[in-house]
Amino acid sequence: MASILVTGCAGFIGSHLCEHLLQGGHHVIGIDNFDPFYDRTIKEQNLAGFIHHPRFSFHELELRQGAEALADALPAAPIDLVVHLAAKAGVGPSVREPVAYLDTNVMGTLQLLEWMRQRGIQKLFFASSSSVYGNTPERPFREELPLLQACISPYAASKLAGEQLTYTYHHLYRLDVLNARFFTVYGPRQRPDLAIHKFVKLLRAGQPIPVFGDGTTARDYTFVLDTVAGINQGIDYLLAHEQVYETINLGNSRPVPLLELISALGEAVGVEPQLEFQPMQAGDVDVTYADIRKAQALLAYSPRTSLAAGLQEFVAWLDSRPPASPTPIW
């Protein structure tokens, strides 16, 4: 079994991944900085199921502190591979705070890469985003599409910059890299700022759901455990191959229009949605649509969870959580 470092281990995807890796027998070293973007207690709850696992160690650490800080904080034992999930996430917030997003996502990635170079760690799984495709007219989105003028949000630009950095380190220092562009991941532990999470709370509160645009915008929703399975397959691929640099889409290959999503959520919750149409938000794209043939060929990636089943699992998880103190829903 491998020793794997996971950045962003206390987050939505990161906590599911750590559980999966530990169940598979791996040793996992987790890093998280508990960014105040949302309540720290949510991330602590995400960690609770495995924080005391004998093959897991946790380090509260800010990547931007640099390679020396990473070297001081992390154990000297061998690390076989890094999964880099840590980032400031969200398109809308990045429009309001572009400097913070570029600083965290680009400089944090650069510092991690530099620490890996100094430490001699040669395997990296990098979490990118479907947002790098912007409003590219060709659909479904293929990994080889030219994207230098595609990004329409600072978040997207930061993720594409991260991919460029991973290529630079691959070219100069022979780092093996798999860049994975995630497509609208949802499911239990989803961040409270994301649409599905907000919409369910609004439905339960009897409040209208804001529809930005005319409701025809569409997203390629991917259940979190399907994404985690893809990451795990990517880890296996990296560990089995050398001189690797690949970029893949991890999506579901089925765009769901916003009005269809809201209708499906209404069914999952048992509430008839009320709609409140509003102008499109800056930085939002019209459609995300993953071409997953490359991931299927390289990794045998095959998402299995239907939207209806995934939403039911999310609602069941939300219902199982202890009551929280009142917070703004939108």
Q: What residues does each domain of the chain span?
A: 3-182+223-250+290-304
Task: Give the amino acid at 254.
Answer: R
Give tens-digit pLDDT for 294-317. Answer: 999 999 999 999 999 999 999 999
In whole angstroms, give the CA distance from residue 14 to residue 17. Answer: 5
DSSP class per residue in 218-286: EE--EEHHHHHHHHHHHHHHHHH-SS-EEEEEES-S--EEHHHHHHHHHHHHT-PPPEEEEPPPTT--S
293, two tokens: 């043939």
The three-point CA angle 33-36-40 to 5° equals 75
Sign (positive or negative) of CA dihedral 19, 20, 26, 29: negative
The residue behind tokens 């999310």 is 314
pLDDT the model gives residue 100? 97
Q: Which residues are catalytic?
A: 155
Average pLDDT of the chain to the nearest whole number: 95
Point out which residues pair with 177 in neighbouring strands. Answer: 124, 245
What homologous superfamily is domain 3-182+223-250+290-304 in, according to CATH?
A: NAD(P)-binding Rossmann-like Domain (3.40.50.720)
Q: Could you tell me if 131 and 159 are in contact, meaning their C-beta atoms sit under 8 angstroms apart? A: yes
Give the contacts of 288 (CB within 8 A, at least 6 positions apart): 130, 131, 133, 141, 183, 184, 218, 219, 220, 251, 255
67, two tokens: 């390679």
Average the pLDDT over 29-49 and give the result: 95
% pLDDT > 70, the chain: 98
Task: Check pLDDT > 80 for residue 324.
Answer: no
In whole angstroms, give the CA distance from residue 124 to residue 229. Answer: 17
| Helix axes 12-23 and 224-240, enclosed angle (nearest 10) | 60
**Residue 148: Cβ-neighbour burial (10 angstroms; 0-12, 13-18, 19+):** exposed
pLDDT the model gives residue 220? 98
Give the contacts of 175 (CB within 8 A, at least 6 positions apart): 113, 116, 117, 122, 123, 124, 166, 169
The residue behind tokens 């889409």 is 249
Phi/psi zone of residue 146: left (φ > 0), alpha (ψ -120 to 50 degrees), beta?
beta
Sign (positive or negative) of CA dihedral 164, 71, 87, 106: negative
Q: Could you tell me if 215 and 162 are in contact, meaning their C-beta atoms sit under 8 angstroms apart? A: no
Comparing CA positions, the residue from 133, 154, 85, 91 lying closest to residue 291 is 133
The residue behind tokens 């630079």 is 168
Task: Check pLDDT > 80 for residue 325.
Answer: no
Q: What is the pTM of this model?
A: 0.95
Band (329; pLDDT cuts 50, 70, 90): very low
Q: Could you tell me if 266 and 272 are in contact, meaning their C-beta atoms sit under 8 angstroms apart? A: yes
Helix, strand, or coil (residue 27): strand
Task: Check pLDDT > 50 for residue 293.
Answer: yes
Helix, strand, or coil (residue 171): helix
Task: Check pLDDT > 80 for residue 166.
Answer: yes
32, two tokens: 């998280």
pLDDT the model gives residue 76? 86
Band (77; pLDDT cuts 50, 70, 90): confident
Band (323; pLDDT cuts 50, 70, 90): low
% pLDDT > 90, the chain: 94
Sign (positive or negative) of CA dihedral 71, 74, 75, 81: negative
